Amino acid sequence: MMKKGLICILVCTLMVVSTVVPIAATTESKKTSHPLTMGNTLYVGGSGPGNYTKIQDAIDNACNGDTVFVYDDSAPYYENVVVNKAINLIGENRNTTIIDGNLLESVMEITESSIFISSFTLRNGSGNGQAGIQLYNNNNVTIANCIIGYNVDGITSQHWVNNLSIINCVIHNNSGDGIYLFNFNDDSSQNCFLTNKGINKINSNINGWQSNATISNISIKDCIINCNTLNGIKIGVARDVEIHHNIISNNHGRGIMLWADTYDANIDNNTIFYNGAGGTYDGGILIQSCKNCYIKNNNISSNDKYGILFHESPKNRFIENTFKENSINAFFNHYNNFWYGNYWDKPRLLPKLIFGRIGMFDFIPWINIDWHPAQEPYDIPLQEG
């Protein structure tokens, strides 16, 4: 009996000791308000004796599937971070957990796939082609709840990227574009979402969103995109585009520009107003060299010069939109488009004539007809926030 008792005591002692032995570099500091994951969690900042002082050091010592959690105590962190492992990189608070690129290069480069970035302010990324976040040949990247400002571009990729989601971010005051996706090598990208799980606010950049790449399945939903120098949204060479339930306003050139052989785009339930400064192609929506666009149930008002202008773009449908107080509500230079049930400034008993030009050099005056114009404006709920 005595031997059995001693063995029990020894086993219990070993179990207690094994639960209190610290694991290097994963010691939790006094702050614990953060998510936990299946992998290990490495801490930066805070007061834990095993916490890192630099974000890059924690990433270098992490493994795929780990989480690097960054406290705001030591912010701003003056670093140019390279995320080259499939990890979660999470800040304590997006307003106070600041990574400053110190005007040297991109604040953050993401060179691996399956990355989750959340709750940071990323600022002062500078240099040619540099950004708040630079993406390189990635799959499955989510950028959530971040403030990205005062960089060259906010988020950029000059290579392919698949399954990119940008959720509940504020992207502002970048000297280039808020979001810029471009392929140098004609590689295809797919599934790029500026998504509806949170309100993205994109303002005071050159273009809010610009993509000049072979991308299939772009979705821009539930965003506020305003006060950009050229365009709120500019998309070229894309397939299967969805622009849904956004507020797009006060952009100096155009609210939305689709161009360069983009097709199969749905633009619906947006509020598009006060865009343009009276320039030749300025206004709410410009569709240039595109086809099969479906534009329905948008409030397009008070834009200067056009509410909508389409150029060399056939087989598009304009259904149940509200046009009000634009300098010119609509104009075209291709006759093969369809209009139905739109509201044109006031109730109309007769069909609405839409004037344009066709032929070489647009010499021939032409008309399209909305045979059944609406008698009152449509009610399109505004995005909150």
The answer to whether residue 180 is domain-embedded is: yes
How many separate domains does the chain show?
1
**Domain that residue 75 falls in:** 29-331+340-345
DSSP letters along 323-358, please? EES-SEEEEES-S--EEES-EESB--SSPEEEEEEE
The answer to whether residue 369 is domain-embedded is: no
Tell me the C-alpha distance between 278 and 260, whole Å. 23
**Quick one: three-class SS letters along 59-91?**
HHHCCCCCEEEECCCCCCEECCEEECCCCEEEE
Entry pTM: 0.87
Tell me the C-alpha distance between 261 and 245, whole Å. 24
pLDDT for the residue numbered 187: 54
The answer to whether residue 124 is domain-embedded is: yes
**Contacts (Cβ under 8 Å, ≥6 apart) of 321:** 295, 296, 297, 298, 299, 300, 342, 343, 378
The answer to whether residue 381 is domain-embedded is: no
pLDDT for the residue numbered 330: 97
The answer to whether residue 278 is domain-embedded is: yes
Q: Residue 49 class from Cβ within 10 Å (0-12 exposed, 13-18 middle, 19+ buried)?
A: exposed
pLDDT for the residue numbered 195: 64
pLDDT for the residue numbered 37: 52
pLDDT for the residue numbered 274: 98
The answer to whether residue 376 is domain-embedded is: no
pLDDT tens string, the chain, 385 residues long: the values are 433 343 343 333 433 333 333 333 333 444 533 444 569 999 999 998 899 999 999 999 999 999 999 999 999 999 999 999 999 999 999 999 999 999 999 999 999 999 999 999 999 998 777 899 999 888 899 999 999 999 999 999 877 888 999 999 999 999 999 999 886 444 566 778 886 556 788 998 999 999 886 788 899 999 999 999 999 999 998 889 999 999 999 999 999 999 988 989 999 999 999 999 999 999 999 999 998 999 999 999 999 999 999 888 888 999 999 999 999 999 998 778 999 999 999 999 999 999 999 888 888 999 999 999 999 999 988 766 5
In the block, tokens 């694991």 appear at: 23
CATH label of the domain that carries residue 99: 2.160.20.10
pLDDT for the residue numbered 24: 33
Tell me the C-alpha distance between 87 and 85, whole Å. 6
pLDDT for the residue numbered 380: 85
Specify the length of the chain in residues: 385
The answer to whether residue 350 is domain-embedded is: no
The answer to whether residue 365 is domain-embedded is: no
Tell me the C-alpha distance between 224 and 86, whole Å. 30
